[in-house]
Amino acid sequence: MSDIILEVKNLSVRFDGNKVIDDLSFDLREKDNLVILGPNGAGKTVLLKTLLGIFPFQGNIRWRENIKIGYVPQKFLADKNIPLNIEEFFKFKKINSEEIAAVLKSVGIKDKTIFSKRIGALSSGQLQRILIAWALIDNPDILLFDEPTAGIDIEGEETIYNLLSQIEKERDLTIILITHDLSVVYKFADSVLCLNKKAVCQGPPQEVLKLENLNQLYGGEIKFYQHGH
């Protein structure tokens, strides 16, 4: 059995007296990928940010000692007018041009002309890769992704998930991923957490992704579901 790297017990998060996360408990083992599913407003992003120490909470969150965490946010709106190019952006991490080129290559960007591109001029797919590269610089043990494909076309989406699988193999990582794409769950998840303020269901995808669970999770919105892979 691999080691547990994250233990969450009886976690509750409130904003203005309203419970956004209610009495949530789960464990995560090293090298197990956890996918978090749930409708909008279910508390998924709040959960990631709470795990990162951004929001106050009740209950217990215990990370393995000295763990290094990388985070790729869902929304990163780069102003078109920010006078900051890719190379300057990465220099914030105190790395040199060779190291920048290497980390960009690891996320599938081999063209060095991107160095001089402004952050605001990138396509959504390029920006996604840049943010993944940024999260990888510190060699994290675990990566937290908040819907890595939000706002990316389907072809780009496919390559982002392929990229995640490749990074995971190369770097021996554990990944926590929020997604709405059920096909990705089968390809990617070792365990699934269905979240709608509380845990609606959790466990291996083959056990968890049943029609009754999904209807309960999404409030009966899913009328027909077939796994076609």
pLDDT at 2 over 60: no
pLDDT at 225 over 80: no
Mean pLDDT of 195-218: 90
Q: Given the DSSP bridges, would you call strands 58-63 and 4-15 parallel, antiparallel or unpaired?
A: antiparallel
Report pLDDT for 1.
47
* Mean pLDDT for all residues in the chain: 86
Confidence of residue 155 (pLDDT cuts 50, 70, 90): low
Mean pLDDT of 163-180: 88
Report pLDDT for 222.
54
pLDDT at 144 over 90: yes
Mean pLDDT of 66-73: 92
Dump pLDDT digits (tens) for 16-44. Answer: 889 999 999 999 999 899 999 998 889 99
Confidence of residue 226 (pLDDT cuts 50, 70, 90): very low
How far is 8 from 132, CA to CA, in rounded Å? 25
Report pLDDT for 224.
46
Most trustworthy range by pLDDT among 72-76, 88-92, 125-129, 191-195:
191-195
Mean pLDDT of 42-66: 95
pLDDT at 4 over 90: yes
pLDDT at 153 over 90: no
Q: Given the DSSP bridges, would you call strands 4-15 and 18-29 parallel, antiparallel or unpaired?
A: antiparallel
Closest CA to 152 of 67, 76, 68, 91: 76
Domains by residue range for the chain, with CATH = 4-217 (3.40.50.300)
Is there a contact between 150 and 127 (Cβ–Cβ < 8 Å)? no
**Pairwise pLDDT comparison (81 vs 33), residue with the higher score:** 33
Q: What is the pTM of this model?
A: 0.85
Mean pLDDT of 102-130: 87
Q: What angle do CA 211, 212, 216 make, to 5 degrees?
A: 115
pLDDT at 227 over 50: no
Report pLDDT for 218.
84
